[in-house]
Copies of this chain bind each other. A is one copy, B any other.
Amino acid sequence: MRKFVGETAKTLIANNTIASVVKLNPHHRPSSPNYCSNRSHLPPSLYSPISSYSIMASTPPVTVESLNPKVLKCEYAVRGEIVSVAEKLQEDLQANPGSHPFEEILYCNIGNPQHLGQKPITFFREVLALCDHPALLDKRETMGLFSVDSIKRASLILDQIPGRATGAYSHSQGIKGLRDTIAAGIEARDGFPADPNDLFLTDGASPGVHMMMQLLIRSENDGILCPIPQYPLYSASIALHGGTLVRYYLDEATGWGLEISELKKQLDAAKQKGITVRALVAINPGNPTGQVLAEDNQRQIVDFCKKEGLVLLADEVYQENIYAPDKKFHSFKKICRSMGYGDKDIPLVSFQSVSKGYHGECGKRGGYMEVTGFSPEVRQQFYKVASVNLCSNISGQILASLVMSPPKVGDESYDGYMGERDGILKSLARRAKTLEDAFNSLEGVSCNRAEGAMYLFPNIRLPNKAIKAAEGAKKAADAYYAIRLLNATGVVVVPGSGFGQVPGSWHFRCTILPQEDKIPAIVSKLTDFHKKFMDEFRD
């Protein structure tokens, strides 16, 4: 330990050159307003009263290098560098309007519909408000403010909650009555039974995904098969839990087709490297790729998991977001049951969220996972892990039940609800088509249609000169393109490299979520930018 005194020490502190400064004698410092001098009981060997700073010229307790390397390895592009730049630009625009060649930041980077002006479904919010403040149910004025069926539903939900206590921790899997409602909704959707005891309500889908990774991954020798491109929650969660991401590539040429031969090839290659592949992630509808799996393809996937002894992790959070008239969502559970596989035959986890669909209630952090095909002993471990965090938030739990059981024909809210729902879904379909066409009209760009989900993932064939320029800027070529786009237009997209892509190909993910009146401006900004970018870099 080196010692510094007086000005030297202060300079060192001010410069933060030596981050760990042990002030062994703070007692004499006049700047301590609440100072209590009674320290005589402290062992002098530990706290010797010397009148100088004593500085350990060692590293501070926590450096980046001393953090968990799994955390350091984890990446999450959706909120990466480009979002920081966008936030900075937004602050600039507020402080100095006119300081950039655009008037607003257009966030096309994240599936966050209400952030971009989408209105919440009235019925859902009525019920939530009544459950938050149940005293309203006893007041006459409430009848004038809320629909009859929202009042009825809120009362029903409150009756399902022990003590009508929306402010209490619930069962660790979620309130039983709400799980009953959700199970009934799943049955109505699939035509096969669902068991409320198989449901774990979660704060959005992400904590459920983390929980499965935590349970399945023992070391870097355990692998999880994930589609590439993928929603980076998966790669991030696998990294955080110290496992190995085993990539399988979706085939862009066939509309992001999922080929069993590719799964088999990658599984075998992983095995050869000594990796035990434990699970396969299927995202349907696809994120960022927007494809909707065909029923027959889903059967092949199920058979593959069955044969290879893999847990099937089915990300089905976009199940309501289908735009292609020739496509339909089928849950993997329905596929399994329709193939004759029962509860004991195949371990399957289906993730659902209130954040997506036509409602897009991202901020409510509601969701569930339906867990089937595990032994009671394994399920007990799931329950234990869920119980460590006590329960998911009750508003999110209520909303998850509403999403799986919206107003029915004959309910007062039904027409209004259907109007809001269809209005949003039809508008999303129009926006998807307009943006798809716009991308396909750009030089060197091709874009598969968004059959579902909330994204387009156009392929940009970037000129070599642009790739060189990106290298000079120490960026991936698509990140370079995306930053240039942002700085020129205010449009935020996520570079394809954040999702994974066939090496040498470049993409970006663009949501279809800006409100419809903004779409023409976005198209024209993208088109102008792309033209200038290509003029600058064309080989």
A residues within 8 Å of B by Cβ?
Answer: 13, 16, 19-24, 26, 29, 31-36, 38-39, 42-43, 46-47, 56, 58, 60-64, 66-72, 74-76, 78-79, 110, 112-117, 120, 122, 125-126, 128-130, 132-133, 135-136, 139, 141-142, 144-145, 162-163, 165-170, 172, 191, 203-204, 206-207, 210, 214-218, 233, 236-237, 240-241, 260-261, 264, 278, 295-296, 299-300, 303-304, 306-307, 309-311, 334-335, 338-341, 344-345, 347, 355, 359-365, 374-375, 377-378, 381, 384-385, 387-396
- Assess the B68–A218 pair: CB atoms within 8 A: yes
The residue in chain B whose Cβ has the minimal distance to the Cβ of A399 is B167
Nearest CB on B from A132, distance (A): 4
Query: Of the candidates B240, B338, B363, which one forms a contact with A391 in the assembled complex, judged by CB atoms under 8 Å apart?
Result: B363
- Extra pairs beyond A39-B300, A68-B216, A74-B388 (5, CB < 8 Å): A67-B381, A167-B362, A365-B393, A365-B394, A395-B395
Query: Complex formed: what's the CA distance from A392 to B207 in Å?
Result: 11
Nearest CB on B from A12, distance (A): 11
- Assess the B122–A129 pair: CB atoms within 8 A: no
Query: Of the candidates B141, B338, B341, B359, which one forms a contact with A33 in the assembled complex, judged by CB atoms under 8 Å apart?
Result: B338
Check A390/B206 contact, CB under 8 A, given A36-B299, A395-B364: yes
- For the complex of A and B, the 8 pairs showing the least CB-CB separation, nearest first, are A34-B338, A115-B168, A363-B394, A129-B133, A365-B393, A79-B387, A114-B167, A114-B165
Query: Complex formed: what's the CA distance from A63 to B376 in Å?
Result: 10
With a CB–CB cut-off of 8 A, which chain B residues contact A207? 389
Query: Complex formed: what's the CA distance from A62 to B394 in Å?
Result: 31
- Assess the B71–A26 pair: CB atoms within 8 A: no
Query: Complex formed: what's the CA distance from A78 to B389 in Å?
Result: 11
With a CB–CB cut-off of 8 A, which chain B residues contact A115? 162-163, 165, 168-169
Query: Complex formed: what's the CA distance from A295 to B347 in Å?
Result: 54
Query: Of the candidates B240, B338, B375, which one forms a contact with A214 in the assembled complex, judged by CB atoms under 8 Å apart?
Result: B240
**11 A-B contacts (beta carbon < 8 Å):** A32-B338, A34-B295, A46-B264, A61-B278, A63-B378, A67-B378, A69-B218, A114-B163, A114-B167, A210-B389, A365-B394
The residue in chain B whose Cβ has the minimal distance to the Cβ of A308 is B61
Check A217/B363 contact, CB under 8 A, given A115-B163, A130-B129: no
Which of A20, A172, A264, A363 is packed against the most chain B CB atoms within 10 Å?
Answer: A363
Query: Complex formed: what's the CA distance from A130 to B136 in Å?
Result: 11
Query: Complex formed: what's the CA distance from A444 to B145 in Å?
Result: 59
Query: Complex formed: what's the CA distance from A163 to B515 in Å?
Result: 13
With a CB–CB cut-off of 8 A, which chain B residues contact A394? 363-365
Query: Complex formed: what's the CA distance from A382 to B310 in Å?
Result: 33
